Chain A
């Protein structure tokens, strides 16, 4: 049961079934570690994107700003 939960956690982070061979050879705690690593990577990227979009608007020259804001926001 624990095995299925860990594989399911990894599948949930991937948004797809993880490779079956991988699920077969890894222990549940290893699958969970993998799922946690991917989750962390996704959160880290999303936060970086959020910060970058806010910064970008501050650098758009005034003459373009209205149009760019219209697209981005």
Chain B
């Protein structure tokens, strides 16, 4: 979960509630997303509660009128703001009847002003075709924040009708700001694979990788891996990795790696960014924090020679606990043929591993030693080789 991304999304949503440009709320970046969400809900409640008595009277008056006339009054007299405030106070069936008499452009105006929490039943009863029409209108206006508030209240048919009307970049932007992101995995499951590829290309073309990373962060492991595979198959990993590095978001990207196919994972080793020492340091640091060694060690095996030297040198500076963990993973997964050639590259690393070797179980030490002999590496492992004996 990236706090920076969540905070950014919350600021965008709060700006909408306050009618203030988001760039004027930059001072809120120090606040936590939970506090910003709580503030936004308090502000929304206050705005909606402020004129509740008068709004109730309007809702009551609407009961007297046929739906067609109610629609005319909503459109020509009340306007979108007041109609939005009244919507949640109407009998839901009546609200949906009135909506059938209104053009999608006006319903889109209402949607922008509506608090979906207060009109849940009305939204649930809206026919899918009409939801699709309103979504198309909102998408034309780039009203991603408004659409994001509705996602959690729409059924699958309505969601699919809406998503068919929204382009790939729009889907990413909406996902970034949507309420109830615990539903994102299900929403993404409704998209056909070509749309998912389109979404990843949209991230690349539109500079929307942070939004894509946030999406990844809210998906199931299986679906995150599938999106990673799509990015690899579509040749987008370099762009993705460059952005992750520039934005300091390796902690979102790297945990996806274990759920990618082996072919996709190995393609990481061919990226230009793995030739950058600072990027490698950031990657290894993240791997240590998230215990991603089982997924990353096979990648290390395919790195260019210069990058392998850098990795070995960086590993020599790891904490003893991290080195112990790497050796344990190599033992558990029988990855000695990957780890030992790396160790052979750096004498400082060999020295650091000597005390680790003494903590290894006899079977693991024996297996490592045998592998080193088979590979002709035992003499090139310094003190570590001697410890494996």
**Of B36, B46, B81, which contacts A38 at CB under 8 A?**
B46
Given contact pairs A45-B51, A64-B64, A64-B65, A22 touches B18 in the complex (Cβ within 8 A): no
CB of B190 closer than 8 Å to a CB of A: no
Cα-based distance from A42 to B19 in the complex (angstroms): 10
Per-residue CB contact flags for chain A residues 32-54 toward chain B (1 = under 8 Å, else 0) read 01100110111011101100110
Flag the segment in B27-35, B181-189, B340-348 that touches A.
B27-35
Residue of B at shortest CB range from A43?
B50
In the complex with contacts A37-B20, A59-B72, A71-B57, A19-B81 CB distance below 8 A = no
Contact B46 A56 (CB under 8 A): no
Interface contact A42-B81, CB-CB below 8 Å: no
Within 8 A of A (CB), among B12-52: 17-20, 27-28, 30-32, 34-36, 38-39, 42-43, 46-47, 49-51
A-B contact count (CB 8 A): 117
Cα–Cα distance between A26 and B42 once the two chains are bound (Å)? 17
Q: Is the Cβ of B19 less than 8 Å from the Cβ of A49? A: no
Complex interface residues of chain B between 48 and 83 (CB less than 8 A to chain A): 49-51, 54-55, 57-58, 60-61, 64-65, 69, 72-73, 76-79, 81-82
Closest to A51 in B: B79
A-side interface size class: 35 or more
Contact across chains for B47 and A53 when beta carbons are under 8 A apart: no
Compute how far the CA of A51 lies from the CA of B378 in the bound complex, rounded to whole angstroms: 86
Pair A16/B42 contact, Cβ less than 8 Å: yes
User: Contact between A41 and B64 (Cβ–Cβ < 8 Å)?
Assistant: no
Instruction: For the complex, give the distance between the alpha carbons of A46 and B389 in Å.
Output: 82
Distance of A52 Cα from B28 Cα, bound (Å): 33
Nearest chain B residue, comparing its CB with the CB of A49? B51
A45 to chain B, nearest CB (A): 6
A13 CA / B50 CA spacing, docked (Å): 11
A67 at the interface (CB under 8 A from B): yes
- Asked if A42 meets B50 with Cβ closer than 8 Å, knowing A21-B32, A21-B34, A22-B35, the reply is yes
Say if the beta carbon of A68 comes within 8 Å of chain B: yes
- Residues in A neighbouring B64, C-beta threshold 8 A: 64, 67-68, 71
Closest to A33 in B: B27
Cβ contacts A to B, 30 pairs, < 8 Å? A14-B39, A19-B35, A21-B31, A22-B35, A25-B30, A27-B27, A30-B28, A38-B18, A38-B46, A40-B19, A41-B18, A42-B46, A42-B47, A44-B19, A45-B47, A45-B81, A49-B51, A52-B77, A52-B78, A52-B79, A52-B81, A53-B58, A55-B78, A56-B58, A60-B69, A60-B73, A60-B77, A64-B65, A67-B64, A72-B57
**10 nearest A-B residue pairs (beta carbon):** A59-B77, A56-B77, A52-B82, A19-B35, A21-B35, A22-B35, A71-B61, A19-B38, A55-B77, A68-B61
